[in-house]
Amino acid sequence: MTIKAELSRRQMLAAGGAVGAAGLLGGSLPAWAATDVTYWHHFTSQSEFAGLAGIMEDFHAANPEINILQENIPNAEYMAMFTSAVIADSRPDTCMVTSDRLPDMVALGGLVDLTDRINGWDKHQFYSEAAWDGITFDGQIYGIPAFSFVNWMYYRKDWLEEAGLEPPDTFEDFLEAAIAITDPSQGRYGFGLRGGDGGQSMLQDVFDSYGAFDYDGGSIAINVPNAVEALRFYTGLLTEHQVAQPSAAGDSYRQIMEGFRTGQTGMVWHHTGSLAEISDALSPDQFGTALRPSGPAGRIARVSYLYNGIMNPRHADDGWQWIAHWGDVDAAITLLEATGYFPATSEVADDPRITSNPLYEAAVQSLAIGVPLPKIVGLAGWMRTSMLPEFQRVLVGTATPEEAVDAMAQALDREVN
């Protein structure tokens, strides 16, 4: 889907009327020279595109002299495209940035330092220190929080009630619930396991829940016994207990969402951004939301922010106008209503459209204990090219958890440490 922000007919007529009035009054005619500002993002769902379209429309109404040209880059190809654009000096003006990719983006020299602009911005005060920390590297700030991702769990309320169970609070509860609601004869599985693209992030959360990573500033090491235990538990949902869908090793976002929406799986892990999509498919009586279950080392409630930054300084002032617009209350509410994404700014965090919705209670709880992703150069790439394939090898039965963790640790030493 392609969305291009253009002046509406009404806006064009209004501009023409302004020109005519200036001529009649004997004043000089304004020069009409809209600036094209390109924007790379990795939105994929219809709800995300609807939210983006609303933000672009609101922005263009307030800034008719700036034309936003959006381009969707698939998430799996995003860093490769980013790298190529920097090397070829064919950068877009603005782009999405995630905390885990920030170190690599900065190391490539692909982002413009916005520290001075942000420190002088009148909305700086409405963002938490954690929000700014996620876009800060070596003391410099490279973007503005656009919205927050609050990880949580969706579950089939009706299935758990039928089994006489409450939403699971620990991994032990989670496994018990997954076994209880799995019925292959009806095509029903307890958990929508994401083993395809993006599955590495959920595996990282499981590893952290078992204390499988040792973090030391900008470095990371694998605690091998804990990592093996974590990987055995998580892959065992498919390989031992058969409570995950058989296609799990290749399933990414779309597959796990469709599985939950269509009644093939009873629990799925994602974040608040998929609430709109699920709410369209299931009634409040059919599903609920809950904190992710806790593991032996504790509960990992991941709260992260998605940011917008400037890649190309050629239109820095216009690019700044665009990325700062996402912090306006109306823009944040527009995106919230379309997608369910939480606002990043405290100006709108207490909006009744959030506080009055009981489905957001788990998100509010997660926000109170949430931790961001670690910022380690090379970690995101290792997770995608080494951690994920080894995870998949265990899922399809070509490696043991011990073999996979050993390969992960060796690759980590080569690629990150």
Task: Give 205-226 pLDDT, tens digit per residue.
Answer: 999 999 999 998 778 999 999 9
Task: Write down the H helix ranges in 63-140.
Answer: 78-87, 102-107, 115-119, 129-133
Least confident of 89-93, 301-305, 398-402: 301-305
* CA neighbours closer than 13 Å in the CB half-sphere of residue 37: 27
pLDDT-derived band at 303, boundaries 50, 70, 90: confident
Report the DSSP pairing between strands 144-156 and 140-141.
Answer: unpaired
For the stretch 71-81, pLDDT in tens is 999 998 999 99
For the stretch 125-140, pLDDT in tens is 998 888 899 899 999 9
Tell me the C-alpha distance between 402 and 413, whole Å: 17
For the stretch 42-60, pLDDT in tens is 998 888 999 999 999 999 9
Give the pLDDT of residue 349.
Answer: 66
Give the pLDDT of residue 33.
Answer: 55
Q: In this model, does residue 152 exceed pLDDT 90?
A: yes
Region 100-105 average pLDDT: 92
Tell me the C-alpha distance between 357 and 337, whole Å: 12
pLDDT-derived band at 112, boundaries 50, 70, 90: very high
Domains present along the chain, CATH in parentheses: 9-148+305-363 (3.40.190.10), 150-302+373-415 (3.40.190.10)
Amino acid at 71: E
